[in-house]
Amino acid sequence: MQAFTFHVPTEIVFGAGTEEKCADLVKKYKGTRVLLVYGEGSVVKSGLLDKITGQLDASGIAYLKHGGATPNPHLSFARAGVKAALEFGADLVLAIGGGSAIDAAKAIAHGTKNPDTDIWQYWLGKATVEDSLPIGVILTISAAGSETSNSAVLTDTDNDDKRGINTDFNRPRFAIMNPELCYSLPKYQIACGIADIMMHTMERYFTAECNKGIECELTDEIAEGLLRVVIKNGLLVLKDPTNYHAQAELMWCGSVSHTSMTGLGRTMDFSVHRLCHQLSGRFNTTHGASLAATWASWAKYTLPVNPARFARYADKIWGAKTAEEGINKTVEYFKSIGMPTTFTELGIGILSDDLLKEMANSCGSGGRAVGTFKPLDVNDIYEIYKLANV
């Protein structure tokens, strides 16, 4: 096992009706003027936003609404949020929604605390976050795990450029997690969330240390158990979204996976995420669907690096006898929940060879290898895109 630092300071308040504790948590973390960040309407239609603002009103906490966060959250939305938060004098940012609202809230919190630095400089790696406003979360979808993670993504739509950053300043101070808030989600969103949780786990399961014989027994058991729980309960939630037990298991898996607990003692890979940033940045594809559409091609291409690791995955997760069967079982599962497994199924069609090369060059720009399980150069990335381009 490699040395590691594990730091997850987020206070998790989990269970039915926990959104009722929002105002108390805001006060606990010294919030007096709150910027509310949310999506394109579901929290409004469900009445959740009014429920939260009613609590804040009753507690004498001032707030400003900043709605309109989209999937693959836009840099322009976050910049507008920084401007609004500064003018309002916000001292806490509260995200109500899923990964997109939460990641946008993280960016806004960084920008508001550091008004002299344009937030995109952090995502370009030209500046480092040294301080931020406190962030709170009310989670409404089990997927990204952003409610407990140190990561956040933004998309510069002017340049079709999607990027992520990792910093402990991305960790929310508190996360309210009521599985009942997921009952009304469309099944496609639920399925995308299932794929996202699985991929956050597998991107920590297939890493360089596995190829060096470095064992992380407990970490492996946690990752494998989490994947089995997601696979089982994902099907139950899709069958009956009001199944509280299944929703609770799925929600908790999403959070635990992206705390990094499923990868402790190893470096992360996240090459599939990097490859898929090209898809969502250029075509605005849903994140979880992009991952499902690309994973099998990555797996088949990298299988020769460590067949034994894929064989363990096949056995522990699917009860399959061979590495190839494990990959095929994963593809079958994605298909069974309505997820794409190729570019055509993703809805972007068969891309031109020139575009595949452009995407590969962009993904591998700077000559830096992508991933750790098999460090991918531009040609490797191009070959994986070709495998998915059917």
- Of 349, 359, 358, 334, nearest in space to 389 by CA: 349
Higher pLDDT, 5 or 14: 14
Higher pLDDT, 72 or 247: 247
And the tokens for 236? 């139950």
Give the C-alpha separation, 10 to 129, whole Å.
Answer: 18
Give the count of alpha carbons within 13 A of 298, CB side only. 28
pLDDT greater than 90 at residue 239: yes
Which helix (H) or strand (E) element contains residue 137? strand 135-139
- CATH code linked to domain 11-181: 3.40.50.1970
Residue 213 — very low, low, confident or very high, per pLDDT cuts 50/70/90? confident
Give the C-alpha separation, 368 to 385, whole Å.
Answer: 18
**Lowest-pLDDT range of 28-32, 43-47, 92-96, 299-303:** 43-47
pLDDT of residue 369: 87
Q: What is the mean pLDDT of the chain?
A: 95
The secondary structure of 3-38 as a DSSP string is: -------PEEEESTTGGGGHHHHHHHTT-SEEEEEE
Domain boundaries, the chain: 11-181, 185-388
Please, what's the largest Cα pairwise distance for the chain? 61
**Lowest-pLDDT range of 30-34, 172-176, 235-239, 276-280:** 276-280
223-238: pLDDT as tens digits: 999 999 999 999 999 9
pLDDT of residue 25: 98
Average pLDDT of span 190-194: 95
116-164: pLDDT as tens digits: 999 999 999 999 999 999 999 999 999 889 999 999 999 999 988 889 9
pLDDT of residue 214: 85
State what percent of residues in the chain have pLDDT above 90. Answer: 89
pLDDT greater than 90 at residue 355: yes
pLDDT of residue 144: 86
- Of 56, 62, 65, nearest in space to 84 by CA: 65
pLDDT of residue 295: 97
Average pLDDT of span 166-172: 95
Mention the CATH class of domain 185-388. mainly alpha
Q: Are strands 161-166 and 151-156 parallel, antiparallel or unpaired?
A: antiparallel
Q: Is the pTM of this model over 0.75?
A: yes
265-313: pLDDT as tens digits: 999 899 999 999 999 989 999 999 999 999 999 999 999 999 999 999 9
And the tokens for 253? 């898996």
